[in-house]
Structure formats: structure tokens, C-alpha cells
Amino acid sequence: MSGAQDKSPVYPDEQGSIAKFEVSYDQYRERICKYISLKVNPMIAEDLTQQVFLKAMEHIHTFKENSSLFTWIFKIAQNTVKNEWRSLARKKEIPYDFTDYESQSISLDFAKYVEIRIDISSALQKLNELDQQIIALRFFVDCTLLEISKIVDMRESAVKNRLYRSLEKLRSELKEWGDITIMSIQDRISIVNKSDANDKNDSLTKVHQDLFNELKNNVERISSKYNHQPSTKIIVEIYPDLPTFHQAVGEADAPNWFMGTYKENKLKIVSPLNPGPEHTYESILKSTVHLFTMWLISDINPHAPKWMRQGIGGYECKQMSEAYIKNTTSDTIHNLVIPTFQELNNDTWDFGTMKGFQFSYLIVEFIIDKYGYDALNKLIRKPTDFNEIFQHTELELYEQWVQYLRNKH
């Protein structure tokens, strides 16, 4: 838990109110923003958070110093949310429901740099509104029991009793996860699993254990190979099937081979239990390593080209066999219509059609075979410095690669 109780609250006075209130802003902004994200569209949560603190600054003279500054600001946040809801009602828009918000999850630490989460939205909906609020304030906004008691206007002991009863109900609703459910939510350690609630316990356990083993065996190795420790912990979200995954990432019409992606520090994949017509249980596990590697390269250099991220990801996860790569690229190589490095930066579905995964892999293989990992690491960090790294222009390196492919095939 955050332990962010107002043991030494900041009370702005008339002499230095602005400076002191800036300290309060830094102290409470993240928690207020988390709360607002549960109640409205997270895209506007930052803006509303700014409004809350502007209102608080404007009315700081009404604050009674014998009370908690956080809960006083929180009341302003609640009113701001209510105003937003009224605005949505006038526009006939549907208010945001925090039980649909994807971060309503509990999690289990599987590896040093990876966590996989279990979505508890459906279970939370089995609780009444007050219990949902108490759970949200305690575990997603990091409020203390005392703070919650002031916010919901109940005795602290009553809040504590309701909290434990709610946790027991969540344990019951999530019984397929066994004891890790209650442990995870209480300890605030973070796997996100978008799993079907009807999945059987044995199947779910196997998926997470297999995923854990795949990541455990590769994350440290890949991080070491590319001389980079992740800047943040990676979250793996698992969706129950391809349609659900495609819908969740805003690509409802995506091809069946599209089973995973990443955004910021979240890797999103389809469940290995329902991989779709073009994947298998094992290929989904390997694809998770592919996605982690792509993310790691982006973490090193956000401007790394697509062929580099895809190629290194494919090379490290070894999902495609040499026979498959050879069979699917031989005609293109024979006809000398091999895509250029620039063409392999194509960020549309044509990337798959043009054998972008295979050719990106082959570029990385060529660089490692001819120049070694040191050169590849330099290229990741300076992707346009071909002359400095290889003593060749980009075109000359491309021509070397084409000859390498012709000799190999």
C-alpha cells in the first residue's frame, strides 16, 4: 500500500499558500487522477485533475486545518466528477463505469520485469455500489481506511468490516484462481488476464505457468544481450479469443495472424487456449517473447525502425523455422524483388503480405552473422549511422544483404 496517510499534512497558510499548495499537488495529484480515471473516460482524467486542484487553490481559504487535506481535495474531485456526469447526461452520452476500466485488476509477480494481470471487472460488478467504491479507494486509489471512512462517511471499523467481507466475496467469485486472488489484491503485487470467467482452473494454471516459464527463460537473457535493463515493469494482458483481442486494441477487422501488440509498458496477447486458425498454443507463448523483445528495443530507442523491432523480436523468439522462412521468401529472393529497409518500415497490414516478418528476421540474421551483436547494438541506438557502424552506406549494406540472401538460398 502507499501508506499515504496524512500523518504530516500540508496546510497552506496565507503567507506561503502557493508554494505549500504545490507540495500538496505533488503529494496527492496521482491518487486524485487515479480516482477520476475510475469514474470518467481516462483520456480526460488529467484535465479534470487539473480542474480539481485549481478549484482547491481558489477555495483554500475555506479549508479547516483540523481535518485531512487529502479528503478535502477528494471531495472537490467527487463534485468535479458529478459535474462531468451531468454534462454527459445533457449530451446524452453514457457515463464511464469503473468496472469496465481495464486496470481494475489484481496481479501476481512472475518475473523481475514482467507481471501478468487478472481482470476482476466482472467480479467487482457482483458487489454493491458502496463496496465497489471501498475496494476502488483502497486498492486503486491507495486510500487508507481512515481516509475512506471520511470519504464515505462511515466509522473506520465499519469500513474495515465491509472491506474484508467484499474481499471474501471477490475470493468466491474468482475461486478458479485459488488463494493467489486474495493475496494479490491485499499485497498490491501485480499477472492482466482478460480470461473467460468460465475457463477451468487447470487450464488457466497451465497457461500462466507456461507463460511464466517462457518469460523467465528469456527476459533476462534478452535484456543482457542488448545491454539494457527495462525502464519499467512490463504488464502482460491476456484476452480470451481473437475477436475480443482485436476489439480491445481497436482493430476489429485485423487478420487472423494478428495476435499480439504492445503499447507503452503493456503487452496484449490472445490466450494460448484460443489462438485462432493461424497460431498454436506454443506459438502464442513464443510471440510473447517476440513482443517483449520489440518493446525492449523501443525502450532503448523509441525511434528504432519497424524492421529492427520486428526482426530482433523474431530472431530472439525463434518462432519461425528456417524451413518456413526459406519456403515463404525463396520466390521473392529469386526474382530480386526483396524489400528495402525503408519499405520494411511499412506500418500497415501489407507488412504481413510483403513477408515483412521473414525479411526483417533475415536482416537481423545477416547483421549478426557478418558484423556481430556489437554492431547491432550500435545500430539500435543510432539507426541511421550506417557509415560509422558498418563503413558502408545504407544502400551498400542493403546490397550486401541481398547477396547474402542469394548465396544462402
To the question of domain 100-115+189-300 being in CATH 3.30.70, the answer is: no
pLDDT score, position 21: 63
Averaged pLDDT for residues 273-295 = 92
> For residue 71, what are the CA distances in angstroms to 50, 92, 284, 318, 325?
17, 31, 46, 53, 60
**Per-residue pLDDT band at 297 (split at 50, 70, 90):** very high
Gap between the Cα atoms of 98 and 75, Å rounded: 18
Is the pLDDT at 255 greater than 50? The verdict is yes
As a whole number, the mean pLDDT across the chain is 80
217 or 356, higher pLDDT: 356
The predicted pLDDT at position 19 comes to 58
Confidence of residue 8 (pLDDT cuts 50, 70, 90): very low
Quick one: pLDDT band at residue 378, thresholds 50, 70, 90?
A: very high
Highest mean pLDDT among 17-31, 167-181, 341-355, 381-395: 381-395
Q: In sequence order, what are the beta bridge partners of 234?
A: 114
Contact criterion met (CB below 8 Å) for 216 and 111: yes
Question: What phi, psi does 320 have (nearest 5°)?
Answer: -90, 130
State residue 234 phi and psi, 5-degree precision: -85, 140
Assess whether pLDDT exceeds 50 at residue 275.
Answer: yes
In this prediction, residue 404 has a pLDDT band, given cuts at 50, 70 and 90, of very high
Highest mean pLDDT, choosing among 31-45, 162-176, 214-228: 214-228
pLDDT of residue 120: 62
Pick the closest to residue 161 from 149, 150, 172 (CA basis): 149
Specify the range with the lowest mean pLDDT, choosing from 40-44, 104-108, 395-399.
104-108
Where exactly are the structural domains of the chain? 17-96, 100-115+189-300, 121-173, 301-409
Residue whose C-alpha is closest to residue 316's, from 179, 216, 190, 221: 221
* pLDDT on residue 290: 95
Residue 362 has pLDDT above 50, yes or no: yes
Residue 143's SS3 state is coil
Is it the case that residue 296 has pLDDT exceeding 90? yes
Residue 272 has pLDDT above 50, yes or no: yes
pLDDT of residue 18: 56
Measured distance CA(41)–CA(28) in Å, rounded: 20
Q: Parallel, antiparallel, or unpaired: how do β-strands 266-270 and 260-263 relate? A: antiparallel
Q: Where does 121-173 sit in CATH, by number?
A: 1.10.10.10
In this model, does residue 226 exceed pLDDT 90?
Answer: yes
- The dihedral built from the CA positions of residue 178, 182, 188 and 192, taken in this order, carries a sign that is positive
Task: Give the integer Cα–Cα distance in Å for 204 and 210.
Answer: 10
Q: Which of 293, 280, 285, 254 is nearest to 269 (CA)?
A: 285
Residue with cell 542469394: 406
What is the percent of the chain where pLDDT is above 70?
78
Look at domain 17-96 and name its CATH class: mainly alpha
Please indicate whether residue 357 or residue 19 has the higher confidence score (pLDDT): 357
Using pLDDT thresholds of 50, 70 and 90, give the confidence band for residue 108: very low
Cα angle for residues 215, 376, 115 (degrees, 5° grid): 20
Q: Please write the tens of the pLDDT for every residue from 154-191.
A: 999 999 899 888 877 877 766 544 443 433 433 332 33
Query: What local confidence, expressed as pLDDT, does residue 400 receive?
Result: 96
- pLDDT for position 188: 30
Find the helix or strand (DSSP H, E) in which 398 lies. helix 394-408
| Torsion over CA: 130, 136, 137, 139 (sign) | positive
